[in-house]
């Protein structure tokens, strides 16, 4: 790898700006027979998710799912699943198994930049390595 130059960093400006904006993905659910559209959250919403995760990791993940998939906040859906008074409960009703919640949560954490980095994405190089 080459040492970055200011020009290289400037050339990546638009690409980095796009990555910082709202990200979207589809989350496929076999048992429901389709996909949900999910989006990344604002910094404020992510702070709320982190706060809930401190109290209960599982409840924080459910809140992440609830906030990331707009369809889950549909009044019709909440009424049909009897979740109007505690709307986050819809996540548990649709995905009663903890591994389902975990799998969706992992996808959404990656979407929000909270997941693990892939090996080799960012790492430390010793100065001696740079000289060679």
Cβ 66 vs Cβ 72: under 8 Å: yes
Residue 69 lies in a domain: yes
Residue 66 in domain: yes
Q: Is residue 52 part of a domain?
A: yes
Band of the pLDDT at 73, cuts 50, 70, 90? very high
Residue 92: give the domain boundaries: 42-115
**Residue 108 CB neighbour total at 10 angstroms:** 24
Is 100 part of any domain? yes
In a domain, 77, yes or no: yes
The domain total for the chain is 1
Q: Are 20 and 91 in contact (CB under 8 A)?
A: no
pLDDT, tens only, 4-39? 788 887 888 888 777 777 889 999 999 999 999 999
Whole-prediction pTM value?
Answer: 0.78
User: What average pLDDT does the chain have?
Assistant: 87
């Amino acid at each position: 790898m080459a040492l970055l130059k200011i020009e290289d960093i400037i050339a990546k400006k638009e690409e980095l700006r796009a990555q910082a904006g709202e990200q979207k993905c589809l989350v496929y659910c076999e048992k429901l027979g389709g996909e949900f559209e999910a989006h990344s959250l604002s910094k404020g919403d992510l702070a709320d998710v982190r706060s809930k995760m401190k109290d209960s990791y599982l409840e924080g993940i459910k809140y992440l799912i609830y906030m990331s998939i707009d369809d889950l906040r549909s009044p019709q859906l909440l009424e049909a699943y009897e979740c109007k008074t505690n709307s986050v409960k819809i996540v548990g009703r649709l995905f009663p198994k903890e591994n389902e919640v975990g799998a969706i949560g992992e996808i959404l954490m990656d979407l929000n930049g909270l997941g693990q980095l892939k090996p080799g994405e960012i790492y430390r190089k010793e100065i001696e390595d740079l000289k060679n």
